[in-house]
Amino acid sequence: MRRPILIALFALGTIGGYTSGFHHLKYGGSDFRWSDHRTAYEQHVAEVCTRAALDAQARTAPTTPQAVPVQAAPVFIVPPIQMIAPQGGPAPSQAAPTSIQATPAPSTQPGR
């Protein structure tokens, strides 16, 4: 006897839950919205944090403005560019050596 009653109650709860969910999706919820409470709480926390930050800033701020030292702009020194001959090669002012092949001189004697 208890089992059929429980089955009927669970079925009605399931149908009611789905109906409520679809209603919230279509019409955007009911009069009691948790998002309104959450938004109000977030605004309250933001206000408290802002007030605390302003109080801390007022306590640590100097009463008279102090001069801020001005730093000079950095200076970059560029060395002059020098053209240097590559290592192991001939100097630019000297001509490259040429190879000379020795050939036997023609003989002036006949028959030889």
pLDDT in tens, 48-84: 999 999 998 888 866 666 777 777 777 777 777 766 6
Q: Where are the domains of the chain?
A: 2-59
Which residues does 92 contact at the CB level (< 8 Å), separation at least 6?
Answer: 85
Q: What is the CA radius of gyration of the chain?
A: 49
What pTM value is reported for the model?
A: 0.30
CA distance 12 to 19: 10
pLDDT at res. 98: 60
One-letter amino acid of 96:
A
HSE of 52, CA atoms in CB hemisphere, 13 A: 6
DSSP 38: H
